[in-house]
Structure formats: structure tokens, C-alpha cells
Amino acid sequence: MTTTAQTMTAVALDGLCDGFADSTHQAQQVFRRVLAAMAEPGTVHSLEPGNAPAPLSSAAYQICLALLDQETPLWLQPELASAAVVNSLRFHCGCGIAHRLDKAAFALITANGDCSLAAFNQGTFEYPDRSATVIVEVRGLDAERGENCGEERSELVLEGPGIRQQRRVRIDGFDAGWMQRLADNHALFPCGVDLILTCGNQLMALPRTTRATLIGQEH
């Protein structure tokens, strides 16, 4: 069959940010770090520094470039849905923007938004894999160090698959409300969403299997 390569019409898109210079290898490298993060919840992984359309972090942007395409509707919290973000992701990933939370395969939210995790697709008992993956922009991430961090940093104890006994992490911006959301989400297993937390060029994952408690409140 005769086919012609899609010719990109040169349209000036508002705030368009570069994609990967070498999509094959950069996407692979980003994926491997996300995979390592998902496999060992609470571990912090750094991506190569790179540009991102404001207000997205570089890590969140790179994860989108690596994983999204026309098959993955994306829901954006309004604060993140700048023209630059929407245009860049549409152009590089070809992903559609979901207008309903429960229709999204991926979502981009911020930790200080009041977005309920339960509003996203939770999957079903037959197909729990169909649930959403939620990328949460946080103000800071730390794994098992940084004792003298700011007071508002919550120190968490994590347990579950991928964690040998326990892992301690600090997540800047996770308040009591978030702890409740994590607990509710975990209780839905095998359903529930999976979280990827991002900050700057760093990321950490909290899949649905991870049980999180605030230090001092465990048991």
C-alpha cells in the first residue's frame, strides 16, 4: 500500500518545548528509572536534567515523553494545564487530553491540589491494570536521609513489595490528607492507582501495594 509520511505543518505553537533529542534511547533510560522506582517504592531516581514547559518539572515532562502517546488520554490539573504544557505534550506525544478524570490513563497533578485519587480510573477486579497512573508534582523528595529538613516535610515509613522490611522517605508536601488518600488507595488492592512523585529531575514511585504511615503514627 502506498503511504506518505506525515508532513508536519509548521505551526507556531505557544510555548512549545523540545522533546527528546534521541527519543529511542532517552525514552528507554527514563523508563528504566521509572521501572526501578516502581519496583522499589520509596527509592529516589534522578533523570538527566532537561527543559520542561512551565510549570511542569523536568522529571514529570520526561516521564510523559517516555510513556504517553495517542493511546493514553491524559488528565491535567488546571494549574498545570498551561498552553506550553498542553501544546508540548500534544505535539511530542500525540496524546489526547481527557476532560473527565475517570477517562484518563495518566494524570498530572500537584501535591497541594485537593484532587481525590478515587476519582481516577481504579481498574476492576478482573482488570486491575486498567487503572490510572498519577504523576504528582511534590516540593521535595528524600530517601532515608536529610534528618534536618524543614518541619513541613513528612517522614513516612513504607512497607510492601519491593521493600526489604521497611523504607523511610521524606516527601515535601504530603500532609495528613495525603496519608489518608494513600491508605484508601492501598486498601483497594488489587484495584487502585499508582503514583509517581516528581520534583525537579527526581522521581519516586508509590504503587498501590505500598503501605505508608507517618513516623510517630505507625501502629
Residues that bind other proteins (CB under 8 A): 1-6, 8-9, 19-20, 22-25, 27-29, 31-32, 34-36, 38-40, 66-72, 91-94, 105, 124-129, 131, 133, 161-164, 189-190, 194, 207-209
Shortest gap between Cβ of 200 and other proteins (angstroms)?
Answer: 21
CA distance readout (Å), 75 to 5, 78, 157: 29, 9, 29
- Give the residue with the Cβ less far from other proteins, 79 or 184: 184
Shortest gap between Cβ of 53 and other proteins (angstroms)?
Answer: 15
What are the residues whose beta carbons fall under 8 Å from the beta carbon of 16, sequence distance 6 or more?
53, 84, 87, 88, 91
- Give the residue with the Cβ less far from other proteins, 69 or 79: 69
- Give the residue with the Cβ less far from other proteins, 38 or 101: 38
- Give the residue with the Cβ less far from other proteins, 34 or 115: 34
Shortest gap between Cβ of 99 and other proteins (angstroms)?
Answer: 18
Shortest gap between Cβ of 173 and other proteins (angstroms)?
Answer: 22
What does DSSP assign to residue 117?
G
CB neighbour burial string for 82-121, b if at least 16 within 10 angstroms, e if fewer: bebbbbbbbebbebbebeebeebbbbbbbbeeebebeebb
Nearest to 157 by CA among 182, 189, 188: 182
